[in-house]
Amino acid sequence: MVEKLRNYGIVAVFATLFIILSFASQSFLSPRNGANILDQSSILIILATTSTLCIIAGIFDLSIAAVGTGSAIMTVHAVNQFGLAGMIGGILFGALLGYITGIAIVSTNVSNFIGTLAASFTYRGLGLILASGGMVTINNPETAETMLGIFEGRLFGLKGAVYVSLTFAIIVGLALSKTVWGKKVYAVGGNAQAAYLAGIRPNRILISVYVVSGIGAGLAGVIYAGRYGTAATNSYSDTAAFTAIAAAVVGGVSVFGGTGAIWRGVLGILTFALIGNGLNLLGVDTTYQLTILGLLIFAAVAADQIFRRKKA
């Protein structure tokens, strides 16, 4: 019963909010409003997916916003050199930064919290260098228009960025739940020493998780470049990284690692989006949104502690 409450508590919270807002506002259930919620959440869905994966593996990645920013800048440079194929370069750049972060942390055994925080500062500085301290722009108007159409064009009422983010979340979710690699991620997150004794190489698994996190951040960078045709050193703030981690926690993913699922992190982000959207529709001061989110995060962590004590 306790485990079910942890696993599906976020579903109850989301459903309750959905029902309340359905009655409170006539505009809430409109297809256009639903599409706007998903569109506004598209980037955070990607970051929540990778943050959830990291937490399940027993680590945090605070560098994803900085990696996303650097990847956006690199995407613009790559697109200017190679056309639309340059978008792949942005994703690969994110993967490379994730690999560097993973190698640096596992080889020095530094705290992943401190290590990724340091990486965040480092990659922010790298972004300054790549952007020459300012902003970079896609030179070819036709290329910029095509990229805008890919990520902002609508299909069945939803923008392309929504399809990209949901596809990424599904792929990572399936890899985590259906593959041997995913089972190893859970094992390392639950008890790295026991996983090692069972023949798993924890460092390799953790590096692979950092790479996937970098790929997600790189994808977020590509979407940014496609949406705006530009990139700058402030493309993504660190608030995005903390929001993504908070979504995973509110979704019921244990901060101690070893348990959780990608869909919970995604539902956590959508719950945040419902709160913000609902407050806007009801004309409530959005200042209260931060207070509500803070209380939700505290409640989720407190509940996790209670569940762990009962399980023990």
pLDDT in tens, 143-153: 999 999 999 98
pLDDT of residue 311: 56
Domain-located, residue 258:
yes
Structure tokens at 10: 């976020």
Domain-located, residue 267:
yes
- Residues with Cβ within 8 Å of 78's Cβ and at least 6 positions away in sequence, in order, are 85, 86, 87, 88, 89, 90, 93
At position 137, the amino acid (one-letter code) is: T
pLDDT of residue 16: 82
Within 10 Å of residue 177's Cβ, how many Cβ atoms?
13
CB 116 within 8 A of CB 56: no
The domain tally of the chain equals 1
Banded pLDDT at 306 (limits 50, 70, 90): low
Rounded to an integer, the average pLDDT of 49-75 is 94
CB 229 within 8 A of CB 147: yes
pLDDT tens digit string along 175-189? 999 999 999 999 999
Domain-located, residue 47:
yes
Domain-located, residue 107:
yes
- Does position 11 have pLDDT exceeding 90, yes or no? no
Exposure of 220 by Cβ count < 10 A (0-12 exposed, 13-18 middle, 19+ buried)? buried
Domain-located, residue 204:
yes
CB 13 within 8 A of CB 271: yes
Could you tell me the residue range of the domain that residue 45 belongs to? 2-19+30-311
pLDDT tens digit string along 113-126? 999 999 999 999 99
Domain-located, residue 24:
no
Domain-located, residue 79:
yes
Domain-located, residue 113:
yes
Compute the mean pLDDT over every residue in the chain, rounded to the nearest whole number: 87
In this structure, the strands spanning 154-155 and 135-137 are: unpaired
Banded pLDDT at 103 (limits 50, 70, 90): very high
pLDDT of residue 215: 97
CATH number for the domain that contains residue 279: 1.10.3470
